[in-house]
Structure formats: C-alpha cells, structure tokens
Chains A and B, each alone.
Chain A
Amino acid sequence: MQEFTLVVSISADGEIVEGEVQGMHGKKCANVAALLDQVGEELEHRHTGDWDKAEPVQIGTGSNSTLTLGRGW
C-alpha cells in the first residue's frame, strides 16, 4: 500500500480542473487520476518525472518484519 495525495485545482471560473498525483509513481497513479473522470473532458494527461520509477517491493524477512525495496522510497 502506498500513500498518495491528489491535489486538485479548480479555476475561479470553474472551467479548468487540474490534478496532480503526489507521493506515488507507476501505474497506480492512473487509478488515482481516475477520480477526476466525472469532472469533464480531458485536455491533457501526462506522466511526469517520477512515473517510471520502480514500484516498491516488500519482502518478508521471517521475523515478523518486512524489507521494502524500491527506488522511490
């Protein structure tokens, strides 16, 4: 499980809605960004610098603890 923040900015006239996913990378970002699906028509959608970072992998160490591997952490 990864914690994320989606920062949504709605313009003063309500016409433009921008969303930025923070604290997460990779394909899960798309699930977060999908929260804006009902807002309206998509004008732009792009991945930014962190998107292709490897997702972290958790490995059990056998002593009730886990080791997390991944460049994004």
Chain B
Amino acid sequence: MSEYVKKNTKYTSRVHLRTALQAAGIQFEEAQPGQTLTLKGYGNQQRQATFAVRQRALGDNIFGDLGWLWDGQTKCFVQVADHLDERYSQTARALRAIKREYAVAATISQARIKGYRTQRVNQPDGSIQIRVTGRI
C-alpha cells in the first residue's frame, strides 16, 4: 500500500444518484432538466426537488415525500423532507442503501471510463468492497 484516501459520501452527480436509486430498488421520479418536482409534506406543505420518492414507496409512517434537490452553493444534492425520522427502519434502510450504491456507482463509473476492471464484493456486515485493477 502506498496511498490511502478517506472520503465522506456526497451526492455531487445526478447520474450517480439516479443509478443509486435504481440499484437500491427504490421507486422514484426524476424531474426533467431545468425543472423540479413538488414534494408533499405534513399539512400540504410543499417543497421542490430534482428526485422524489413518494411517501407510499417507503412504506414507513413518514410525514410526506422525500427527495433530493441540487444546491448550487454546496454543489451537491441535498435531502429534502418535511419530516423525516430515520428511526423508522424501512426509511433508514433505504437511505443507507442509496448512499452505499451512490459510492459504488461513483467508483465503478470512473474505473470503467479508464478501462480498469472492477469486482464488487458484498460483505456480511453490509459494507461493500470494490477491487479495481489495471495498469498505469
């Protein structure tokens, strides 16, 4: 080993976030470029988002839809929800899965662009290992 990098996952790519939602098996809607979708919250409060997961898709007793909206200042997609209690197990599981799959998508897509081989191993503890091999 001669180089070590540690990162905190951030949703900076629309493409990877879409891939992550698909890979996590979450039913979602995506706004057309330049447009947003309306999320419904408690008491008919409304918020805008680029990606929307409707309340019924998560199943838990959350108070409204969940989504992600592009934030031009931080240059990443931020989570949007009227009220989100991550103690609800199904919602928490879904959010963890989306984040894991985002990191997978971001890593594998970059490796493939460079022509490197990738191998994904799902670990028993829920973590994921990806081995990227190639020549440089």
Chain A residues in the interface with B (C-beta under 8 A): 1-22, 24-26, 28-33, 35-51, 53
Contact = CB atoms under 8 A, between A and B. Distances in A.
B13 A38 contact: yes
B114 to A, nearest CB: 7
A48 B109 CA distance: 26
Interface in B89-104: 96-104
Measured as residues with beta carbon below 8 angstroms from the partner, the interface class of chain B is: 35 or more
B44 interface: no
Interface stretch (B29-37, B60-68, B120-128): B120-128
B117 to A, nearest CB: 10
A5 B132 contact: yes
Given A21-B2, A35-B110, A43-B7, 15 more contacts: A4-B134, A14-B97, A14-B103, A17-B6, A17-B9, A19-B5, A24-B2, A29-B2, A32-B136, A35-B114, A39-B10, A43-B6, A44-B4, A45-B5, A47-B2
A17 to B, nearest CB: 5
Contact of A22 (B1, B103, B126, B130): B1
A4 B111 CA distance: 12
